[in-house]
Amino acid sequence: MAGRVGADRFAVLAPRSLLEEAALAEALSRGPAGARCAVRMGTCEAGPGSSAPGPADALERALLALRAAKSERRGPRVRRFSPAMLEEALLYQDALEGLGAAMASGGLRPAFQPVFECPSGRLAGAEALSRWGEPGAPGPGAYVPLLEEAGLAPAHDLHIVSLALDRLRAWIDADLPVVPVSANLARSTLLDPLLARRLEVLLRERRLPACLLHLEVSEEAWRLDPDQLRCALMRLQAAGFSVAVDDFGTASTSLSALEGAPVDVVKLDASLLRADPGCGAVVVGAAVRLVHELGMVVVAEGVEDTSQARFLEEAGADLLQGYLCSPPLDAEAFEGLLRDGGGGAERALCLERGRAEPT
């Protein structure tokens, strides 16, 4: 017996003797005409006896196992239900409730990590990064995937963008020299056909131009769905937004795949800098040259030491972002950087590189 239980979820009820999980997952992954598709499976045994779950409970537990399999992109494709998954489900629900309350109360807010020109060290922009402000709260690497899984990523992304734009408006009203702010948007957010209109409303309400808001899509999202995202990014570019591919180098996407893409900026992931020094230098140098040939700007992320900064400068990177330059700052600290015209960070960068302080 088989049936559909969700948008992309199907259930199969079969005798245990016929259900060899790994073989079934492999068979299901083969589509028509030799095409391959990613299949994840969760399983749970049901049967007679007081300790065995009934059909409804078995389905619920199989779905919990499926969630575990989908959450581990590089883990096993098939997960069998275990009692620990029930505890994880309760923690998941508690976390979602806490996140919802945090968004409603302003507990989820942006931090701003500065981006600097290379080699001048002048402040060029900032990335708005989601932060949960409560003491002991998990970092975005833990809670953002929960929001995506629960379908709350669009609400979260627009919440962070709204607060970042509020700050931009306040800084302009205070006669501060502002710089563009970028925000990383989830795939589900980007695929909203009304996204450009929603962002335009947020900007219009704050009397801000689109050039002050840059939008980022992860390389992983681009790799999984380039055709749909291409259309979505074209709409955003047409509305005046600059578009960046973030974390480039983490998902094995070829730079040739970006040729003709509606992308203005490529952000090289920090993992490229941490690779084998010889091989990494060759890869980064080639990537910078190819991105420039495509007419795009190169941002190097995760710059942590002066040797990396020197190499990236020699390789021709346009912008640098990372803890060597500055960690993410709360809004008040970033405002102080703006009041200084970015000069404090500019002096720090030049001194780190052993140069004379700029005049």
pLDDT tens per residue across span 324-337 = 999 999 999 999 99
What is the structure's pLDDT at 73? 59
The label of the residue with tokens 């700029």 reads 358
- CA-wise closest residue to 220 among 180, 182, 186: 186
d(CA 328, CA 299): 16
What is the structure's pLDDT at 135? 78
What is the structure's pLDDT at 113? 97
What pTM does this model have?
0.76
Taking 70 as the threshold, does the pLDDT of residue 252 lie above it? no
Taking 70 as the threshold, does the pLDDT of residue 160 lie above it? yes
What is the structure's pLDDT at 175? 95
Taking 50 as the threshold, does the pLDDT of residue 351 lie above it? no
What is the structure's pLDDT at 33? 56
Taking 50 as the threshold, does the pLDDT of residue 358 lie above it? no
Taking 80 as the threshold, does the pLDDT of residue 53 lie above it? no
d(CA 281, CA 279): 5
What is the structure's pLDDT at 49? 58
Instruction: Of 89-98, 136-145, 282-291, give the range with the top mean pLDDT.
Output: 282-291
- Burial class of residue 313 (count of CB atoms within 10 Å of its CB; 0-12, 13-18, 19+): middle
d(CA 103, CA 132): 9
Taking 90 as the threshold, does the pLDDT of residue 308 lie above it? no
Instruction: Of 19-33, 159-173, 307-321, give the range with the top mean pLDDT.
Output: 159-173
What is the structure's pLDDT at 106? 79
- CA-wise closest residue to 191 among 225, 164, 150: 225
What residues contact 304, with CB distance under 8 A and at least 6 apart?
270, 273, 322, 323, 324
Taking 50 as the threshold, does the pLDDT of residue 225 lie above it? yes
Mean pLDDT of 229-236: 94
SS3 of residue 336 by DSSP? helix
What is the structure's pLDDT at 350? 45
pLDDT tens per residue across span 181-213 = 999 999 999 999 999 999 999 999 999 999 999
β-pairing verdict for 2-4 and 10-12: antiparallel
Percent of the chain with pLDDT over 90: 42
pLDDT tens per residue across span 73-129 = 555 678 888 888 776 776 677 777 777 787 887 789 999 999 999 988 899 999 999
- Burial class of residue 55 (count of CB atoms within 10 Å of its CB; 0-12, 13-18, 19+): exposed
The answer to whether the beta carbons of residues 112 and 99 sit under 8 Å apart is: no
What residues contact 126, with CB distance under 8 A and at least 6 apart?
112, 113, 114, 115, 179, 180, 181, 182, 334
Q: pLDDT band for position 17 (50/70/90)?
A: low
> Helix %, strand %, coil % for the chain, to 5?
50, 15, 35
What is the structure's pLDDT at 143? 84
Mean pLDDT of 280-309: 89
Give yes or no for a cis peptide into 83 (omega within 30° of 0).
no
Show me where the domains of the chain are located: 2-81, 97-352
Place domain 97-352 in its CATH homologous superfamily.
EAL domain (3.20.20.450)
> What is the overall mean pLDDT for the chain?
83
Per-residue tokens: 26: 């492999």
The label of the residue with tokens 């060290």 reads 121
Segment (H or E) for 291: helix 277-293
Least confident of 112-121, 243-252, 284-293: 243-252
Q: What is the largest CA-CA distance in the chain?
A: 81
d(CA 32, CA 27): 11
The answer to whether the beta carbons of residues 291 and 255 sit under 8 Å apart is: yes
Percent of the chain with pLDDT over 70: 81
**Alpha helix ranges (H) inside 72-213:** 84-105, 140-149, 153-173, 187-190, 195-205
What is the structure's pLDDT at 345? 46
Mean pLDDT of 162-172: 97
What is the structure's pLDDT at 37? 63
Per-residue tokens: 205: 């309400």
